[in-house]
Structure 1
Amino acid sequence: MKSAQDWLNENPVIYSIIKYLLIVAAVLICIHFIRKVLKRNIPNTSVRYKSQKGIEILGYFIIIILSVSYFTGNIKDFTIAIGLFSAGVAFTLQELILSVAGSLYIFIVKVYAPGDRIELHGIKGDVIDVDSIYTTMMEIGQWVESDNYSGRIVKLSNSFVFKGPIYNYSKDFPFIWDQFSLPIRYGSDMELAKSIVINIASETLSEYTRASKVQWESIVAKYYIEAAEVEPTLAVTLTENWVQFNLRYIVDYKRRRSTKNMLNESILKAFEQTKGKVVLGSTTVELIKIPDLKVDVNKS
């Protein structure tokens, strides 16, 4: 009676088909195992779904390559196929791997942390969470003016830290420079107007100025950067309609809007108390002369 081995030796085609089916089954089992691992270890639904789909597509692709190579005899060692499969897995999951690497980079280098205000990939907001895959932000701006929350929570892949600039409003130096312009009508007491603006700005911003000086000294010691003017400054520009005052000052990055509102209200009130010595400018049109019109009603 012939043994199974003898029978297979006498039927090499059947033996080759069985061997091929075993290889395909091994690949399918590996794919199923990796899908289960991803499902168990990736909490985010979107990333989990895309990863599983990617592995599934990659598995079918590898089976096709193995099928062609097996029956043409180009791949004789299954370890080569395993190597290709591993490389394919790495390629398919490169975004996930890059996100995990990005999270490590964020924590080790301290690029930003929860509570920081950043701008990343064109989106600005306050960081409210950083996990192994995503940075979660409370968005500011967009359809609302100034630095107010829009109400949207945004999740960004940590891989973006390797793909573009990261603007941090609060790390090392939690202050920013802001400015606004004031139109002063020609004929106003300019010296009085300048003293009013500078005095109000210096008084209102005194706390920020003192704190920013200390912070800036540490920045100069840490980075290659020169000393900067943190006191409120006023620049004057002559225009066709008015004298334009441009006030530049430093402020806490989270209080930019409220501080600007406080300055505007105080300056407007002080100008009104000058009893006409300082008047804000506005767009006006002056008619120099209307040409004389002569109408002869008797002329036919």
Structure 2
Amino acid sequence: MNSPLDFINDPVVLRIAKLLLWILAIVIFIGFLRRVLKKRIDNVSVRYKAQKGVEIIGYVLITLLILMAFTVENIKDYTIIIGLFTAGITFTLQELILSIAGSFYIFFVKVYKPGDRIEINGIKGDVIDIDSIYTTLMEIGEWVSSDNYSGRIVKISNAFVFKGPIKNYSMDFPFVWDELNILITYDSDVALAKKLVLEKATDFLSEYTKSSLAKWEEMVEHYYIENAKIAPTLAISPTDNWIAINLRYITDYKLRRITKHELFEQIVQALMATDDKVKLASTTLQLLKIPELDIHLKQ
């Protein structure tokens, strides 16, 4: 009859026990290092990267320990069991494994980083954290207009980096093109309106234009992409009711809403000061009076 001591002294049991103790020691050491880094490093960005680096090193060490624990001489006796066990674990935890692989992909390929504004799996927001399983976003949009925060924190599996497109608003070119339509009447001085709109836009957006030009030149050197016009441009489109002056300009991806608001205010003030040479258009309705009918009936 086998005694409990025989089970404890079994080489396989001892090997597994040692493996678990080493894994526990590594996890405790990682937690200790993270606390030390949090206290010693004041810069938020550097502290975040250091803590993530420690986590990744810990995962690598644990993986190596597991591989070393099973690469022993007696492994031949357990190859079938280990193979079936690994296949079952892989199938059951395929989403988890894909998420962990996604975290390595995000870290090394630099798909996005904390602080970037991205859209992934139909959800748009600012990245506020990336761990081994999830990417955490501060959501923008949904029931609020433009690029305002909704107030919801969204966690998205890192596995989605392999499943669909990722739209990054700030990775290499932290600017976006936006448009503003100015509507004027047909009896307005179109040439004067174009001149004022372009002057105000060029003056107001000069800093954005200068900053984005340097970034765009880096983009052209790094990617296979044609050069683009960074300065504000105009396009005229007549309609049945008014003339639409379409202003296209570049702005910071996080300041799109406020830029459009302030730019529109300045343009409207300039157009209103033209003594009715330029008139802003709006939808109008003309009501026609039905003529009176004079009916005579013959006897």
Q: Same fold (TM over 0.5)?
A: yes
Q: CA RMSD in A?
A: 2.5
- After superposition, give the CA deviation of every residue in 1:174-201 in whole Å (9 maximum; x if it has no partner): 0000002111101001111101100010
**Residue 255 of structure 2 corresponds to which residue in structure 1?**
255
**Residue 96 of structure 1 corresponds to which residue in structure 2?**
96
Tell me the secondary structure at the aligned position of residue 159 of structure 1: helix
**Residue 266 of structure 1 corresponds to which residue in structure 2?**
266
**Residue 141 of structure 1 corresponds to which residue in structure 2?**
141
Matches within 5 A, 1:1-300: 80-286=80-286, 292-296=291-295, 299=298
**One-letter code aligned to 1:181:** N
Partners of 1:291 and 1:127 in 2: CA distance: 62
Partners of 1:103 and 1:182 in 2: CA distance: 46
Tell me the secondary structure at the aligned position of residue 181 of structure 2: strand
Cα shift at 1:286: 4.0
Partners of 2:297 and 2:170 in 1: CA distance: 82
Partners of 1:249 and 1:219 in 2: CA distance: 18
Cα shift at 1:267: 1.0
Tell me the secondary structure at the aligned position of residue 80 of structure 1: helix
Check 1:194–1:294 CA distance in 2 against 1; reply closer, same or farther (3 A cut).
same
**One-letter code aligned to 2:219:** I
Cα shift at 1:223: 0.2
Tell me the secondary structure at the aligned position of residue 244 of structure 1: strand
Tell me the secondary structure at the aligned position of residue 277 of structure 1: coil
- After superposition, give the CA deviation of every residue in 1:203-251 in whole Å (9 maximum; x if it has no partner): 0100000011100000000000011001100100011100011110000
**One-letter code aligned to 2:104:** L
Cα shift at 1:293: 4.0
Partners of 1:142 and 1:266 in 2: CA distance: 29
TM-score, normalised to structure 2, is 0.72
**One-letter code aligned to 2:152:** R
Cα shift at 1:82: 4.1
Partners of 1:194 and 1:79 in 2: CA distance: 77
**One-letter code aligned to 1:284:** T
Q: Please, which runs of 5 or more residues in structure 2 have no aligned partner?
A: 2-11, 28-76
**Residue 5 of structure 2 corresponds to which residue in structure 1?**
none
Which structure has the bigger radius of gyration?
1
Partners of 1:286 and 1:235 in 2: CA distance: 29
Structure 1 residue ranges (4+ consecutive) displaced by more than 6 angstroms after TM superposition: none
Tell me the secondary structure at the aligned position of residue 176 of structure 1: strand
Cα shift at 1:83: 2.3
Partners of 1:219 and 1:268 in 2: CA distance: 34
Partners of 2:79 and 2:227 in 1: CA distance: 62
- After superposition, give the CA deviation of every residue in 1:47-67 in whole Å (9 maximum; x if it has no partner): xxxxxxxxxxxxxxxxxxxxx
Q: Please, which runs of 5 or more residues in structure 1 have no aligned partner?
A: 5-25, 42-76
Q: Quick check: 78-87 or 289-298, which moved more?
A: 289-298
Partners of 1:87 and 1:219 in 2: CA distance: 44
Cα shift at 1:85: 2.3
TM-score, normalised to structure 1, is 0.72
Partners of 1:82 and 1:133 in 2: CA distance: 25
Check 1:150–1:292 CA distance in 2 against 1; reply closer, same or farther (3 A cut).
closer
**One-letter code aligned to 1:296:** I
Partners of 2:79 and 2:112 in 1: CA distance: 43
Partners of 2:78 and 2:202 in 1: CA distance: 77
Partners of 2:153 and 2:146 in 1: CA distance: 18
**Residue 18 of structure 1 corresponds to which residue in structure 2?**
none
Cα shift at 1:285: 3.1
Cα shift at 1:125: 0.5
Tell me the secondary structure at the aligned position of residue 285 of structure 1: coil
Partners of 1:194 and 1:162 in 2: CA distance: 47
Cα shift at 1:294: 3.4
